Amino acid sequence: METDKAIELKPEEISALEEKYLFATYKRSDLYCSHGSGIYLFDMYGKRYLDFLGGISVNSLGYSHPRLARVLTEQGQRLIHCSNLFYHPYQGALAKKLVEASGMARAFFTNSGTEAVEAALKIARSYGNARAGSSKSVILTLKNSFHGRTFGALSITTQDKYQAPFRPLVPGIEVVAEFTVEALEEAFSDHVCALVMEPVQGEGGIVPLPESFVRAGRELCDRHDALLVADEIQCGLGRTGRYFAFEHYGIKPDVMTLAKSLAAGYPLGAVLGNTRVAESLGPGDHGTTFGGGPLACRLALEVLNIIEEEDLISKVDALGHYLMDAIRKMASQHRSIGEVRGMGLMIGIEMGAAAKEAVPRLLKKGIITNAAHETVLRLLPPFIIEKKDADEFLSALDAVLGEIEAES
Ligand SMILES: Cc1ncc(COP(=O)(O)O)c(C=O)c1O
């Protein structure tokens, strides 16, 4: 089918095609996307949605940002792809920017989050092998974590629903079963080459890790010559009101993964490493066809420039506090609201069964959210929302919870 014919498909024809020809991996909502502008997504009927999910932490600059559209067109006409056999101007420039922002030393670019995690795992094993051969190969991961769907990343994703059909998984993974210093100490030994953590767990239901736990993780990694790997794919790049979520904890990881909002909608991921791991990937040790292409890297540079020039990270911090305070205040009128967790514009509202009921009702009212970990209403709005948009969300939430509570 020609592409200009696909645009004429009616919603029911689109879903029929997918039902017939796609693996049934996605349970989509009845929202047929047409286009987006700023903080709004529009469906094929012309209905406007306030996006409080931001493409799951991807669309940090909203939709159709004019500066990104300009880069896309300009670079699209110049050079979309060249192989990693050759140089182009943007990969090194983006690496420099990320390295300087994070205090790391080196970068490798991927196409997705899960591939960034795979690269981090290879760095971890290579680091361990260089020190003590295969005896230093244990990778510690945390309960309730999510790191991606490829085999390495899946093997450190400690949620049964993702792992069960695909066992056996990659060997040498051990789980820290509680977020306590004691559990960490018990799990550690000189056999450990890396501890992997999301400073704020995302798919696990927006769970910021306790500060004492993260700090103890850093100390134990140092004591046992292991790497601390921060997966900042969902929580990094300004989302928590700091450039990187690890900054809230006063520590620095050795390795960090990024993706999602890096090129704000164009696929791009990265693994960054400090000087300790600078030698852990050498010539021929890793590679990718697409990762770090000129279009993706130039877009990411523009994204980071916009975030910096418009001081968006401080705005994320301020609006995040405003939203979280307001939701906590609403808890006195709504019994469905439990714990409100998060940092910046990465917010989770513990709601029990009401979370899954609230999502479609909010959607009907023109607001996009989702339920993470079954019971948590997850908010990841674009950084460019304003107070009036937060207020629109709050009054819709108030109304929806009123309906749900009146019915139960
Ligand atoms: C923390 C974290 N790591 C890794 C991933 C995997 O990223 P991707 O879906 O781009 O492979 C995700 C995706 O949700 C994530 O939230």
pLDDT in tens, 146-167: 999 999 999 999 999 999 999 9
pLDDT at 36 over 80: yes
For residues 250 and 6, the model is more confident at 250
> Tokens in use for 286?
């890793």
> Tokens in use for 86?
């050759």
CA distance 302 to 219: 36
Cβ atoms of 35 and 63 closer than 8 Å: yes
Q: Tokens 């714990």 belong to which residue?
A: 339
Cβ atoms of 190 and 155 closer than 8 Å: no
Distance in Å, CA 318 to ligand 1 centroid: 26
Going by pLDDT thresholds of 50, 70 and 90, the confidence category of residue 3 is low
Atom of ligand 1 nearest to the CA of 203: 16
Specify the pairing of strand 33-37 against strand 370-372: unpaired
Going by pLDDT thresholds of 50, 70 and 90, the confidence category of residue 73 is very high
Distance in Å, CA 83 to ligand 1 centroid: 25
pLDDT in tens, 166-187: 999 999 999 999 999 999 999 9
Superfamily of domain 3-64+311-407: Aspartate Aminotransferase, domain 1 (3.90.1150.10)
Query: Long-range contacts: 356-364, Cβ < 8 Å, 24+?
Result: 357/404, 358/397, 358/400, 358/401, 358/404, 359/29, 360/29, 361/400, 361/403, 361/404, 362/52, 362/396, 362/397, 362/400, 363/29, 363/31, 363/49
| Candidate from 25, 209, 233, 271 with most ligand 1 atoms within 8 A of CB, to mutate | 233
pLDDT in tens, 38-56: 999 999 999 999 999 999 9
Going by pLDDT thresholds of 50, 70 and 90, the confidence category of residue 4 is confident
CA distance 270 to 259: 6
Omega of the bond prior to 165 within 30 degrees of 0, cis? no
* 3-state SS, residue 197: strand
- pLDDT given for residue 1 in this prediction: 61
Going by pLDDT thresholds of 50, 70 and 90, the confidence category of residue 374 is very high
Residues in the chain: 408
Contacts of 54 (CB under 8 A, 6+ apart): 60, 62, 261, 380, 381, 382
pLDDT at 408 over 90: no
Q: Model-level pTM?
A: 0.98
Residue ranges of the domains in the chain? 3-64+311-407, 68-309
Q: Which residues pair with 139 in a beta bridge?
A: 173, 194
Distance in Å, CA 100 to ligand 1 centroid: 23
Going by pLDDT thresholds of 50, 70 and 90, the confidence category of residue 241 is very high
Residue 336's closest CA among 381, 265, 400?
400
Atom of ligand 1 nearest to the CA of 148: 6
> Tokens in use for 327?
């939701």
- What percent of the chain is predicted at pLDDT more than 90? 98
| Residue 203 Cβ contacting ligand 1 at under 6 Å | yes
Summary mean pLDDT of the chain: 97
| Residue 113 Cβ contacting ligand 1 at under 6 Å | yes
- What percent of the chain is predicted at pLDDT more than 70? 99
| Residue 117 Cβ contacting ligand 1 at under 6 Å | yes
Class in CATH terms, 68-309: alpha beta
Distance in Å, CA 60 to ligand 1 centroid: 15
Q: Tokens 């696990």 belong to which residue?
A: 204
Going by pLDDT thresholds of 50, 70 and 90, the confidence category of residue 349 is very high
Residue 53's closest CA among 342, 346, 292?
346
Q: DSSP characters for 123-182?
A: HHHHHHHHHHGGGS-EEEEETT----SSHHHHHT---HHHHGGG-S--SSEEEE-SSSHH
Mean pLDDT to the nearest integer, 301-314: 98
CA distance 134 to 121: 14
Mean pLDDT to the nearest integer, 182-205: 98
Mean pLDDT to the nearest integer, 234-261: 98
Distance in Å, CA 141 to ligand 1 centroid: 15
Specify the pairing of strand 255-258 against strand 370-372: unpaired
Distance in Å, CA 233 to ligand 1 centroid: 6
Cβ atoms of 159 and 176 closer than 8 Å: no
Going by pLDDT thresholds of 50, 70 and 90, the confidence category of residue 228 is very high
Cβ atoms of 46 and 36 closer than 8 Å: no
Considering only CA atoms, which residue is closest to atom 10 of ligand 1?
A: 113
> How far from the centroid of its chain's Cα atoms is residue 288's Cα?
21
Going by pLDDT thresholds of 50, 70 and 90, the confidence category of residue 7 is confident
Specify the pairing of strand 106-110 against strand 48-51: unpaired
Instruction: Give the DSSP letter of residue 395.
Output: H
